[in-house]
Each structure stands twice: as C-alpha cells, then as structure tokens.
Chains A and B, each alone.
Chain A
Amino acid sequence: ENVLTQSPGTLSLSPGERTTLSCRANQSVSNNYLAWYQQKPGQAPRLLIYGASSRATGIPDRFSGSGSGTDFTLTISRLDPEDFAMYYCQRYDNSPVTFGQGTRLEIK
C-alpha cells in the first residue's frame, strides 16, 4: 500500500517568511508523478504543482516544488496572507492514487 506522510502537521508562521513542506513516500514515486494542492475552507483543492516541480497555470512563482524518489518538498519563498491554508501532496504514478494527510499552514 502506497502511503504519503506529510510533515509537519501544522506550521505557524508570519507573512513574509519562507517555508518548506515535506511529503515522504513509503515507496519510490515513479516518474516524479507527485502533485501538490492548496485547499481553503469550503473550497475545492487547487492544483499548485505537478510532476514534482512544474507549476500549474496561474500559480505564483513563490511556489516551487522539488524532490524525487521518496522525498518531496513544496517551498513557498515569501508567505502571502492568502497562502495560509491546508496543503496536500498526491502521488499518481499508479492506482490507487494516494493523498497525504495534509499540512496546515496557519498565521502566527
């Protein structure tokens, strides 16, 4: 069974700070088929990154993704007030598709 573990569970930071969210897979992710989503309360997830490092259309360049194999990161270079939300990673290299449990990014 594919499992994605995100850390930390919660991050408390201030606008303007830089942060890195982690997503670790229990088995290697083939072809870097790893995506990141942002979700705000009452909204559908919003695709940020696919293929581990490709930004989706319209996503600000302060968001970047990196990693390979079993370790992936989402970096937000300078937090904007609108960035405080839940973040999920997802692997889609095989079926079933798997999501991580999420990281909550909250305002300090």
Chain B
Amino acid sequence: QVQLQESGPGLVKPSETLSLTCTVSGASISSSYWTWVRQPPGKGLEWLGNIYYSGRTNYSPSLKSRVTLSLDTSKNQFSLNLNSVTAADTAVYYCARGSGWHLSWGQGTLVTVSS
C-alpha cells in the first residue's frame, strides 16, 4: 500500500519561500509521476504541478514563475518550493501519486502565510 506524508513549516511569512516535502512509502519514487495539489480554506482543489522521476516537470501556468518541484530518490521524497508567498497561498497542500488520476494522497498539511 502506497503511503504519502507531507511535512514542512505550518507558518510562512509573506514574501518568503514555502517549502514542503512528501515522503513516499510502499513504492519507489522512481516508478511514477508525483503531484502537488492545494486547497485554500473553504475552497476547491488547485493543481500545482507534477514531477517525473527523470526530473521532468509540469507546472500550473498561474504559478510557474514561483514554483519549483524536485525529488530525492535516495530518500524516496519529492519537494515543493513556492517563493514570494502571500496570504493567497494559505492552503492545505496535498501530495499525490500519478500524473492524471490520483489513487494515493497524503493527508495534507495546512500552511498559513502570515507575519
């Protein structure tokens, strides 16, 4: 059974960089695409981007200038960096397996952008 777990700071100051890591167990990170999705409080789901084990990435056009995905095969982890954050980036951030439909998701982690 594939399990994913997000980790990172729950509070980030405006203009700083939001950094999250997703640790994968039960599957090799070299086996699939890996995706980040976020959900602002009380709102819908927003796709942020995905990364293949080769390092190939796809990003949301609306965030492309601020987002970077990376992976660490030695730790079976992949990461999200979102720079120049504002209050609008406050959301629950989910990691998920796959590039299309997602059967496996992390539980999500709330990141609040506030000074």
A associates with B: yes
A-side interface residues toward B, CB under 8 Å? Answer: 33, 35, 37, 39, 43-45, 47, 50-51, 56-57, 88, 90, 92, 95-102
Q: Is the CB of A96 within 8 A of B102?
A: no
Q: Is the CB of B101 within 8 A of A92?
A: yes
B-side interface residues toward A, CB under 8 Å? Answer: 35, 37, 44-47, 49-50, 58-61, 94, 99-103, 105-108
Which of the residues A45, A51, A92, A95 comes within 8 Å of B45, measured between beta carbons? A45
- Of the listed residues B45, B94, B101, the one surrounded by the most CB atoms of chain A closer than 10 A to its CB is B101
Q: Is the CB of A99 within 8 A of B45?
A: yes
Q: Is the CB of A92 within 8 A of B103?
A: no
Provide the residues of chain B in CB contact with A51, threshold 8 Å: 101
Provide the residues of chain A in CB contact with B105, threshold 8 Å: 44-45
Q: Is the CB of A47 within 8 A of B47?
A: no
Alpha-carbon distance A97/B99, docked complex (angstroms): 9
Give me the 6 closest cross-chain CB pairs, A-B, nearest first: A92-B100, A50-B101, A44-B105, A35-B101, A97-B47, A99-B45
**Distance between A58 CB and nearest chain B CB, rounded to angstroms:** 10
**Distance between A18 CB and nearest chain B CB, rounded to angstroms:** 25
Q: Is the CB of B44 within 8 A of A44?
A: no
Which of the residues A44, A96, A98, A100 comes within 8 Å of B58, measured between beta carbons? A96
Known contacts A44-B106, A45-B45, A101-B44; is A96 also within 8 Å of B101 by CB?
A: no
